[in-house]
Amino acid sequence: MKKLILCLLLTFVDCASEHDVKVAIIGSGMAGLSTANRFLEQNFENFEVFEALDRYGGRVYPVAYGDGYFQHGAQFINGDKNPLFELASELGVVSDVYPDYGHLSDAIVKYGNCPVDEADIDAFRKFADPLDGKYHDVAYNDEKRSYSETVKSMFDKDYAEFLKEQDAESGFRRSVFDSLSLTLRSYFEFEYAARWEELSLRAIEEWDDLGEVGVSYTTDKIGYTAIIDHLRSKIPDSKIHFNHRIANIDYSGPKTVLTLTNGTKIGGFDYVIVTSSIGHLKKFARKMFTPQLPQRKLKAIDKIGMGTSAKIFLEFPDMSWRKDEIVTPLPVAGCLGRKVLDPIEEEFNTFQPISWAPNVLMTWIAGHGPRKVDNLSDEELSNVIVKLLRDIHANDSIPAPTKIIRMKWTHNDLFGGSYSFVTYEQAQAGIKHADMSIPVRKDGKIRVQFAGEGTHHRIFQTCVGAFLSGRREADRILDMTH
Ligand SMILES: Cc1cc2nc3c(=O)[nH]c(=O)nc-3n(C[C@H](O)[C@H](O)[C@H](O)COP(=O)(O)OP(=O)(O)OC[C@H]3O[C@@H](n4cnc5c(N)ncnc54)[C@H](O)[C@@H]3O)c2cc1C
């Protein structure tokens, strides 16, 4: 009744009932699937999903291998106090709890015949291990610095002191420490999918999975495949349209009209929920909406970072040359014929076995790495990796991989990278990820909404954030129309 009175008095209150309204969901990634599932849970069926690709999942991208799946995208679950963790547990795909730092602390550092002193590796580890905790402390307790520092600006100061203490400001030991620093860089860059010189300490302060700091839940060899399959299975086929890429969303009239890239127009929508990544919006937001999005929204899209990280799966014909361990490669400038480090080679800081795929090694790259590597052919990439592996294992008979399985996230403008992060510029401009969640109104009425990992105020970057944001936007419509 209260709503009815408001409807009669005020034009800016959305008064349609749920039976009248029609909703378009752009994208069938985690956020789009979650939105549709939330609607169905609440018995609201007047929606349609438009997906540019011929598959659902978006940045959840499983590729079948043996009796499992390589996950090109999401693999871990952040936090156990959220409905996605509950769903994953029900589906039986949560396998373990793992420290975010694990792939570094559990790794064996390999440097081949280079005269590296193990004591220097230990010294570096003692220096590096507390840094993540230290940066969390500064981010949480020193508001001014949380805005003015990046992770790299913090590290540069700490590293300069460390080198002084070690009396290693130049020379060969300096080169060893520089190479070891790359492993720490890769930790931050993979964790936040960010170039560390752009990564604001606000990222640490603002991100919260409500769980123990520094741990995530691993999933088994089926993992996220089971989660997206489950969410997809609830949505009737008639409601999900693949190969439908939206070029324009025109909300200038009383009903919103979508234009596909082939020119087809589909109209009649009251609300449109856009789940495109920040990377996609950076490239297309200025032509994707009629009328143009509000300046504040465009500024948020410009300033919020879109980072890159990627996994590369290498299948070898023979693995007898290695033990079952995580390896941190340590190529050192001035050693094994390297005057300086190769700019591609320096991006590979971990080689990990996969327990259920014994002939496969996985390597992660992040920060500037994916952009560099995505421009290489498989053959070029294989040459760099084989040389690196041969050098660090001091074994010239290591074979080339027979297959390289990878996803070039930076080359696909539906994603434009892997996930969002808080940039220094964003922090300076006072922009929050939450700004992305503010709906766009026309004549006082909500018309365009945003969901997706890049719109979550607390747990951006992740599938949990994407999942929760989809429910948030579905609930926003259900609350207005109930
Ligand atoms: C290498 C990598 C590792 C990751 N690891 C983890 C991890 O371990 N844990 C974790 O929680 N998260 C991880 N993530 C992040 C996680 O995958 C994403 O946060 C999440 O999948 C984002 O879901 P989304 O629905 O917000 O966006 P998306 O998955 O990008 O979905 C958006 C969908 O919209 C479609 N679309 C976009 N624009 C249009 C358009 N104009 N018209 C029609 N369709 C459109 C896209 O094709 C896509 O399917 C990782 C990501 C990558 C790349």
Interval 161-208: pLDDT, tens: 999 999 999 999 999 999 999 999 999 999 898 999 999 999 999 999
Poorest-confidence range of 34-38, 187-191, 210-214? 210-214
- 143: tokens are 């508001």
Whether ligand 1 lies within 6 angstroms of the CB of 28 is answered as yes
Whether ligand 1 lies within 6 angstroms of the CB of 463 is answered as yes
Opening angle at CA 112, ends 108 and 116, nearest 5? 80
Q: Rounded CA gap, 34 and 43, in Å?
A: 14
Confidence class of residue 120 from pLDDT cuts 50, 70 and 90? Answer: very high
Domains within the chain, CATH numbers bracketed: 2-72+223-303+430-481 (3.50.50.60), 101-213+309-411 (3.90.660.10)
Using the atom order of ligand 1, give the atom closest to the CA of residue 466.
26
- 465: tokens are 């954030």
Task: Taking the CA atoms of 25, 30, 31 and 33 in sequence, report the sign of the dihedral they define.
Answer: positive
Task: Taking the CA atoms of 99, 105, 109 and 115 in sequence, report the sign of the dihedral they define.
Answer: positive
Q: What is the pTM of this model?
A: 0.95
Identify each DSSP E strand in 367-433 by its residue range.
403-406, 419-421
Using the atom order of ligand 1, give the atom closest to the CA of residue 34.
25
User: 229-253 pLDDT, tens per residue?
Assistant: 999 999 999 999 999 999 999 999 9
Residue 361: how many other CB atoms lie within 10 Å: 22
Q: What pLDDT is attached to residue 17?
A: 62
What's 244's DSSP letter?
Answer: -
Q: What pLDDT is attached to residue 225?
A: 98
The residue whose C-alpha atom lies closest to atom 2 belonging to ligand 1 is: 73
Confidence class of residue 1 from pLDDT cuts 50, 70 and 90? Answer: very low
Residue 17: how many other CB atoms lie within 10 Å: 9
Q: Rounded CA gap, 225 and 75, in Å?
A: 10
Percent residues over pLDDT 90 in the chain: 89
Q: What pLDDT is attached to residue 408?
A: 95
Q: Which of 39, 41, 42 is nearest to 25 (CA)?
A: 39
Q: Say if residues 466 and 30 touch (Cβ distance below 8 Å).
A: yes
Whether ligand 1 lies within 6 angstroms of the CB of 219 is answered as no
The residue whose C-alpha atom lies closest to atom 13 belonging to ligand 1 is: 74
54, 56, 62, 65 alpha-carbon torsion, rounded to 10°? -50
Q: Rounded CA gap, 291 and 252, in Å?
A: 6
Q: What pLDDT is attached to residue 16?
A: 57
User: 315-360 pLDDT, tens per residue?
Assistant: 999 999 998 799 999 999 999 899 999 999 999 999 999 999 999 9
